[in-house]
Structure 1
Amino acid sequence: MSGATDAMGTKWLAGTLLGLPLAVALCTLAILWLPGGWETGVVAAVVTCLPVWVAIISCSLLFRSSASAWLWLGGANLLCFGALWAPRLAGAAPAALSALPAS
């Protein structure tokens, strides 16, 4: 019984620690390509981030082992943040600070 509890606890921890950045990345990816730009969807993305994070935490308990939860969620983070950084590294998207108007 103790082994099952430990495995569930580490799966939940993986979902909690790796789920938040994954939820932020997923919500950011969802608003980047809106017709008005990210500015039109930033409030919706912030509001949607919490339910997405809770869904990721809940789904992390469905993995067979805690190691697979950590690996899959870590890989999903790398994939999503790679997709966010790829246009910037390719020079297709400006850095956030250079896109702000000068004051």
Structure 2
Amino acid sequence: MWGRLSAGALLGLPLAVFAVGTLVYAWPGRWQDGMVPGMLAIVPAWLAIVAASPLFRSAVRAWVVLALATLAAFAALSAARLLGA
């Protein structure tokens, strides 16, 4: 259980930041206008990831899935920036 919770806590924060950042950056209009709502949305997103992390079957699966999700969110944010969204 502690391995799954630590995966959610450690990998959940960058996943929440990247996911919310991608939404804020891809939102229509200036990205600066969505910064405050985006920063406020990071904490509930992170808490949701941490709360859902014990649902994984094992700690290894939690680390792998959350690491891949974090990498995918980082790739989506980078793609949004490169494409000029």
Instruction: Name the TM-score, length of structure 2 as normaliser.
Output: 0.91
**Could you tell me which residue of structure 2 aligns to residue 50 of structure 1?**
43
Q: Percent identity?
A: 42
Matches within 5 A, 1:63-74: 63-74=56-67
DSSP-derived class of the 2:55 partner: coil
DSSP-derived class of the 1:61 partner: helix
Task: Flag the structure with larger Rg.
Answer: 1
Q: Select 1:37's aligned residue among 9, 30, 44.
A: 30
Is this contact kept in 2: 1:31–1:37, CA < 8 A? no
TM-fit CA distance, 1:63: 0.2
Cα RMSD after superposing both structures: 1.2
Aligned AA (2:25): L
Aligned residues: 84
DSSP-derived class of the 1:41 partner: helix
Corresponding position: 1:20 with 2:10: no
Give 5+ residue unaligned stretches, structure 2.
none
TM-fit CA distance, 1:83: 1.0
DSSP-derived class of the 1:30 partner: helix
Instruction: Name the TM-score, length of structure 1 as normaliser.
Output: 0.76
Runs of 4+ in 1 over 4 A off after TM superposition: none
Higher helix share: 2
